[in-house]
């Protein structure tokens, strides 16, 4: 698991179990359930680096589609609908990518931890 030592295995399993069915993924609930919502900005940036599979400095749609597999190789891919919803939450400039700074990736976490909604 890419997040070993960063996240609690039991929390990650519970988070993955909570979105096992197609179209059941909610990034806010997932981040809270797996413990990512309580991480510092530096830890969130480390998470970003794991998810940014091609090391481009951005998370593109194809990387988001496979988001859950960063937590468990046997996890399902996100549906197109889930992927687009997740992408739109962090794509502040409409370029189809999520960056680590600005609104982008950190904002997704801040919405969950401090604001409660997007």
63 assigned to a ligand binding site: yes
Sorted by sequence, the CB contacts under 8 Å of residue 61 that are 6+ apart come out as: 83, 84, 87, 96
56 assigned to a ligand binding site: yes
Q: pLDDT at residue 116 above 50? A: no
> What is the pLDDT of the chain when averaged over all its residues?
85
Q: Structural domains in the chain?
A: 9-111 (1.10.238.10)
- The whole-number average pLDDT for the span 22-38 is 92
Q: pLDDT at residue 113 above 60? A: no
Of the pLDDT bands very low, low, confident and very high (cuts 50, 70, 90), residue 41 is: confident
Of the pLDDT bands very low, low, confident and very high (cuts 50, 70, 90), residue 112 is: very low
29 assigned to a ligand binding site: no
91 assigned to a ligand binding site: yes
52 assigned to a ligand binding site: yes
Angle subtended by helix axes 27-34 and 80-90, to nearest 10: 80
Sorted by sequence, the CB contacts under 8 Å of residue 97 that are 6+ apart come out as: 58, 59, 60, 91
């Amino acid at each position: 698991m890419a997040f070993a030592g960063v996240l609690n295995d039991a929390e990650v399993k519970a988070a993955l179990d909570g979105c096992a069915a197609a179209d059941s993924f909610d990034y806010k609930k997932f981040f809270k359930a797996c413990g990512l919502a309580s991480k510092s900005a530096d830890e969130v940036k480390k998470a970003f680096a794991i998810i940014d599979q091609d090391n481009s400095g951005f998370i593109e749609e194809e990387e988001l589609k496979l988001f859950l597999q960063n937590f468990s190789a046997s996890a399902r891919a996100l549906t197109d609908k889930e992927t687009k919803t997740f992408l739109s939450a962090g794509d502040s400039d409409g370029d189809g990518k999520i960056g680590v700074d600005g609104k982008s990736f950190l904002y997704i976490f801040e919405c969950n931890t401090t604001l409660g909604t997007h």
